[in-house]
Amino acid sequence: MHCWDIHTHREGQPYAIFQAGRNITESETFLSLGIHPWEVASIWEEHFKKIKQEAAQNPQILAIGEAGFDRLKGPEIPLQKAAFYAQASLAAQLEIPLILHCVKAHDLLMEYLKSTKNPPVIIWHGWNQKPELARQLLPFPVFFSFGKQLLQPGSNATKWLAACPITRIFFETDDSGLEIGSIYRAASLILQLPEAALAEQVIVNWNAISKRKIE
């Protein structure tokens, strides 16, 4: 049983989705490809064109992203929105998840979800917001990926993991440098479930929402 890491900046891990950003590289492992909100440039459509081509033909690309909104960093919001909407529709078309980066922009995500007929499955990565905000997202195809904040007792991440439907959870190391095993261990203590059961659940969850399967 493999403990999948669905979002990592560390390259070359076998059961992990490496965050390649918009760098289309030869890789033997799985990737997510996309334009990070910090990196949306005025010529983003050129970058997007390449991402679109690559994502359509390369089955190693398991997700689009990270993409999203950030009110603290990056270009002005209309530009971020345009890039996000294009990437979200690509993910929907390919039937693979979009990995979301969202900082102080919950309202922008809600606006998108409420105005879009066929949104892709969205995985909010590094979830550490209040459970009330998470609950607002449950009517939509939004999933939650938990990382290093699970190691902080009393964090919002630990509170929401304990309350979140188990079919909506994923785990990640992001840029923490931690081993994914330590995240599963923390989750296993919070949920009082064996790590192997969580590992299996994550695989089931992924395969229920994506055309590109993992095992």
Report CA Rg, the chain. Answer: 16
Helices in the chain by DSSP H: which ranges?
44-57, 77-94, 106-115, 131-137, 156-163, 180-191, 195-209
| Alpha-carbon dihedral sign for residues 206, 58, 11, 90 | negative
DSSP state of 152: S
How far apart, in Å, are the Cα atoms of 1 and each of 7, 146, 189, 201? Answer: 18, 19, 18, 11
Nearer to Zn ion, 20 or 88 (CB): 20
State in angstroms the smallest separation of the CB of 40 from Zn ion.
16
- 5 interacts with Zn ion by CB under 5 A: no
**Residues touching Zn ion, count (CB under 5 A):** 1
State in angstroms the smallest separation of the CB of 175 from Zn ion.
6
- 70 interacts with Zn ion by CB under 5 A: no
State in angstroms the smallest separation of the CB of 37 from Zn ion.
11
Nearer to Zn ion, 70 or 174 (CB): 174
How far apart, in Å, are the Cα atoms of 160 and each of 80, 111, 132, 140, 144? Answer: 28, 22, 9, 17, 9
Residue position matching structure tokens 């669905």: 6
Task: Quote the tokens at residue 187.
Answer: 């989750």
Per-residue contact flags (x/-) with Zn ion for residues 161 to 180, judged by CB under 5 A: -------------x------
- Residues 36, 20: Cα–Cα separation, whole Å: 10
The pairing of beta strand 98-103 with beta strand 16-21: unpaired
Nearer to Zn ion, 72 or 163 (CB): 72
Nearer to Zn ion, 9 or 193 (CB): 9
Report which residue's Cβ sits closest to Zn ion: 174
Per-residue contact flags (x/-) with Zn ion for residues 145 to 164, judged by CB under 5 A: --------------------
State in angstroms the smallest separation of the CB of 191 from Zn ion.
23
Nearer to Zn ion, 103 or 193 (CB): 103
- Residues 183, 198: Cα–Cα separation, whole Å: 11
State in angstroms the smallest separation of the CB of 7 from Zn ion.
6
State in angstroms the smallest separation of the CB of 9 from Zn ion.
6
Give the binding site for Zn ion (CB under 5 A). 174
